[in-house]
Chain A
Amino acid sequence: QLQLQESGPGLVKPSETLSLTCTVSGGSISSTSYYWGWLRQPPGKGLEWIGSIYYSAHTSYNPSLKGRVTISLDMSKNHFSLILTSVTAADTAVYYCARLLRTGVGTTTPPDYWGQGTLVTVSS
């Protein structure tokens, strides 16, 4: 059974860098069938896709966050990571890691498996 688990600090100061890791068990991030991604949900609001990465290290990012986001993977540890720079209070959210089915070059379906999510608060 595939499981994804987010980990990282729950509190980040404004203007600093948010860093999260997603550890995958029951499946391999080197699979050619899937992308691995990050999404977030501000308190009381809807879902937002942040970006995704393929085993080849090909990435796709939400245009609204491009420039602040980097997603990377470590196949030796079967995990992938999110870095979001210059955070503000607007980046306070539950952050989810997820699996997305690859449908073509650089294209996916929305997520089919999600981690449980981790709340990250941006505050001084």
Chain B
Amino acid sequence: QSVLTQPPSASGTPGQRVTISCSGSSSNIGSNSVIWYQQLPGTAPKVLIYSNNQRPSGVPDRFSGSKSGTSASLAISGLQSEDEADYYCAAWDDSLSGYVVFGGGTKLTVL
């Protein structure tokens, strides 16, 4: 059971806009910044969004992030076949002695 809650799957057709949600609590998303990762099969996660809505250099502006209260979202516009991957949200959690928490991941299928 993951601390952050994501839908297990999402899908869209090429060119569409897809949104993936990430729900947490006041001890994680509510008080700390969110990172979104993209993980292609057999590879390490890659940072897509950091500090809730910032893109590292090299990440297309088709990817955007937002945060409101204890929830965050990743939006992918102009969906492409190469976007088919697993997506994870993560944040620091202030509860107990503090630790990094993840969502369970969302498998994005491009139809």
Contact = CB atoms under 8 A, between A and B. Distances in A.
Contact of A117 (B44, B47, B88, B105): B44
Contacts of A37: 100
B88 A47 contact: yes
Given A46-B104, A47-B105, A110 B44 contact: no
A46 B44 contact: no
A96 interface: yes
A69 to B, nearest CB: 12
Interface string A47-79: 111001000000011110000000000000000
B33 A109 contact: yes
A123 interface: no
A110 B90 contact: yes
A33 interface: no
Interface residues of B, number: 26
Contact of B98 (A46, A106, A117): A106
B53 to A, nearest CB: 14
Contacts of A10: none
Nearest to A4: B44
Interface string B66-78: 0000000000000
Given A47-B88, A114-B45, A108 B102 contact: no
For chain A, which range describes its interface: under 10, 10 to 19, 20 to 34, or 35 or more residues? 20 to 34
Contact of A108 (B44, B100, B105): B100
B102 A46 contact: yes
Given A47-B90, A49-B99, 6 more contacts: A37-B100, A47-B45, A52-B100, A63-B97, A108-B92, A110-B102
Interface of B: 2, 32-33, 35, 37, 43-47, 50, 88, 90-92, 94, 96-105
Interface of A: 37, 39, 46-49, 52, 60-63, 96, 100, 103, 106-112, 114-117
24 contacts: A37-B100, A39-B100, A46-B103, A46-B104, A46-B105, A49-B100, A49-B101, A60-B97, A61-B99, A63-B97, A63-B99, A96-B45, A106-B97, A108-B92, A109-B92, A110-B35, A110-B102, A111-B35, A111-B100, A112-B35, A112-B47, A112-B50, A114-B46, A116-B44
